Amino acid sequence: MSLPFVSVIIPTFNDSERLASCLEALEEQSYTGDYEILVVDNGSTTLPVVTGRARLLQEAQPGSYNARNRALAEASGTVLAFTDSDCIPHRDWLAAGVKAVTASDDIGLVGGSVQIKPMSGGAPNVAELYEMATAFPQETYIREGLYAATANMFTKRSVMDRVGSFNGQLRSGGDTEWGQRTAAAGYRLVYAPDAVVDHPARSHDEILRKLRRTVGGARDRWPGWAETMRFAARHLLPPRSRIRRATKLKGVNARRRALVVAYCCYLNWYCATQRLSLQFTGTASSR
């Protein structure tokens, strides 16, 4: 039985150096079927250079989901694999993801493991420890949220054709919205722990930038004042699940775990104030 042709889709924005490492890892995949790599630049100051089997597309409309939709219009694969330019896929990533998503016709999407790697050198700082404890709990996303982060997601062209493409109006949360649409259409969502990508731990500034984007995405999906107040009230409370994960960090002393717990609370309060600010000012969501 022949292996399916795969389209690997990567949106990118001002991230040439990390994109080059991602593409290098994709060229070294163990997958013995054929595949293409579609890189979609989303308005970078300087266009990235792509090599090997990668092909560069451009999407002027801001937003990673618009970029992904641009690639979908060009993709030839019967299997669609999504990752990000700051990710490093492991050598067996494609093989494991394709095997999982093609195991049954009723599988709508597969989410693989996203492993967080500290980047500062030496002992991880508090922001990196927070990321290592809380970022990309993909199995939880699939089981409880009914979606997979597009940093590591597989689906089939037939599913995308039936469910529809990503909502390009969303700056953040488009993977959540699409995954929940897929589940509502009756498809199964599967976690594949052996389809692995590495993701760098974000710095403090990068974490705040991501939160501004995700809070803006939530506001775009539910713009009313009632939802704003519910969102703010939820985020004024300590984030219990993240605190639990922070207290279970391995190889970290009690003092540093306590700092990560405090950081979890600070970020929750930051989200609450950002949402209220967006609602009061009507400012457009950031990318």
Domain boundary among 175, 200, 225: 200
Q: Are residues 38 and 19 in the same domain?
A: yes
Domain boundary among 200, 219, 240: 200
The predicted model gives 156-171 an average pLDDT of 94
The predicted model gives 227-239 an average pLDDT of 93
Q: Is residue 1 part of a domain?
A: no
Q: Are residues 173 and 190 in the same domain?
A: yes
Q: Are residues 150 and 234 in the same domain?
A: no
The predicted model gives 264-283 an average pLDDT of 93
The predicted model gives 74-96 an average pLDDT of 97
Q: Are residues 71 and 148 in the same domain?
A: yes
Q: Are residues 167 and 221 in the same domain?
A: no
Q: What does the block give as tokens for 107?
A: 């599988």
Q: Are residues 168 and 219 in the same domain?
A: no
Q: Is residue 50 part of a domain?
A: yes
Q: Are residues 106 and 189 in the same domain?
A: yes
CB 4 within 8 Å of CB 33:
yes
Q: Are residues 29 and 43 in the same domain?
A: yes
Predicted local distance difference test score (pLDDT) of residue 218: 85
Predicted local distance difference test score (pLDDT) of residue 217: 84
Q: Is residue 234 part of a domain?
A: yes
Q: Are residues 189 and 219 in the same domain?
A: no
Q: Is residue 240 part of a domain?
A: yes
Q: Are residues 16 and 74 in the same domain?
A: yes
Q: Chain-wide mean pLDDT for the chain?
A: 94
> DSSP letters of 115-168?
EEE--SSSS--HHHHHHHHHS--HHHIIIIIS---TTEEEEEHHHHHHH----T
Q: Is residue 130 part of a domain?
A: no
Task: Point out the least confidently predicted range of 31-45, 88-102, 187-201, 246-260.
Answer: 246-260
Asked whether the predicted pLDDT for residue 285 surpasses 80, the reply is no
Residue with the two structure tokens 């974490």: 207
CATH of the domain at 32: 3.90.550.10
* Domain range for 44: 6-125+135-200
Domain boundary among 144, 174, 200: 200
* Helix (H) / strand (E) containing 67: helix 64-74
Is the Cα torsion angle 239, 201, 88, 6 positive or negative in sign?
positive
The predicted model gives 263-285 an average pLDDT of 92
Task: Point out the least confidently predicted range of 75-79, 95-99, 132-136.
Answer: 132-136
Predicted local distance difference test score (pLDDT) of residue 273: 95
pLDDT digits (tens, 9 = 90+) for 5-19: 999 999 999 999 999
pTM of the model: 0.85
* Helix (H) / strand (E) containing 286: none
CB 89 within 8 Å of CB 26:
yes
Predicted local distance difference test score (pLDDT) of residue 287: 65
Q: Is residue 150 part of a domain?
A: yes
Predicted local distance difference test score (pLDDT) of residue 78: 98
Q: Are residues 66 and 144 in the same domain?
A: yes
Q: Is residue 286 part of a domain?
A: no
Helix axes 254-281, 126-134, angle to 10 degrees: 80
How many domains does one find in the chain?
2
Predicted local distance difference test score (pLDDT) of residue 127: 94
Specify the amino acid at residue 61. Answer: Q
Q: Are residues 144 and 249 in the same domain?
A: no
Q: Is residue 39 part of a domain?
A: yes
pLDDT digits (tens, 9 = 90+) for 234-270: 999 999 999 999 998 888 899 999 999 999 999 999 9
